[in-house]
A and B are shown apart, each in its own frame.
Chain A
Amino acid sequence: MRINEEGERFPLTMYDWDAEKGTATVVCQAIGVSTKKLCALNEGDSILDVVGPLGHATNTEDIGKVICVGGGVGTAEAYPIAKGLRKNGNDVTVIIGARNKDLVICEESLRKFCDKVYVTTDDGTYGQKGFVTDVLEKLIEKDTPDLVFAIGPAIMMKMVSEMTRKKHIKTLVSLNSIMIDGTGMCGGCRVQYDGEVKFACVDGPEFDGHKVDFDDLTRRGKRYSDKEKKALEHYEEKCRMGLEK
Chain B
Amino acid sequence: MREQDPKQRIKNFNEVPYGYNKEEAMAEAARCLQCKTQPCVQGCPVEIDIPGFILAIKEERFSDSIKIVKATNNLPAVCGRVCPQEDQCEKVCVLEKAGKPINIGALERFISDWERENRSEVNKENIAAGEAAAKVAVIGAGPAGLTCASDLNKMGYKVTIFEALHKPGGVLAYGIPEFRLPKNIVTDEVDEIEASGVELKNNYIIGKIKKIEDLREDGYKAFFIASGAGLPYFMNIPGENLNGVYSANEFLTRVNLMKAYLFPRYDTPINVGKKVAVVGAGNVAMDSARSALRLGAEKVSIVYRRTEQEMPARIDEIHHAQEEGIEFHLLTSPVQISGDETGEVTKLVCLKNKLGEPDSSGRRRPISIEGSEFEMEMDTVIIAIGNGPNPVLLETIDGLKLNKWGNIEANEENCETSIEDIFAGGDIVTGAATVIAAMGAGKHAARSIDKFLKS
Which positions in A face B, CB cutoff 8 Å?
2, 6-9, 33-34, 48-54, 180-181, 183-188, 190, 192, 197, 202, 216, 219-220, 222-224, 227-228, 230-231, 233-235
Contacts and interface: CB of A to CB of B under 8 A. Distances in A.
Contacts of B379: none
Contact of A219 (B243, B266, B271): B243
Contacts of B203: 49-51
A33 B267 contact: yes
Contacts, number: 109
A51 B205 contact: yes
Given A2-B166, A51-B204, A54-B205, 14 more contacts: A6-B265, A6-B266, A8-B268, A9-B166, A53-B208, A181-B165, A184-B230, A185-B174, A187-B250, A188-B246, A197-B241, A216-B241, A227-B270, A231-B264
A180 B268 contact: yes
Contacts of A8: 258, 267-268
Nearest to B247: A187
B32 interface: no
A207 to B, nearest CB: 15
19 contacts: A9-B258, A48-B166, A51-B203, A52-B209, A53-B208, A180-B250, A183-B392, A185-B231, A185-B232, A185-B253, A186-B249, A187-B232, A197-B234, A220-B243, A222-B243, A227-B263, A228-B269, A231-B269, A233-B264
Interface size bracket, B side: 35 or more
Contacts of A33: 267
Contact of A231 (B236, B263, B392): B263
B238 to A, nearest CB: 11
Contacts of A227: 263-264, 269-271
A7 B204 CA distance: 19
Interface in B16-59: none
A157 to B, nearest CB: 18
A145 B220 CA distance: 47
Contacts of B312: none
B243 A180 contact: no
A107 B249 CA distance: 41
A71 B267 CA distance: 27
A226 B260 CA distance: 15
Contacts of A188: 246-247, 250
A184 B263 contact: no
A240 B203 CA distance: 32
B267 A183 contact: no
A181 B253 contact: yes
A219 B343 contact: yes
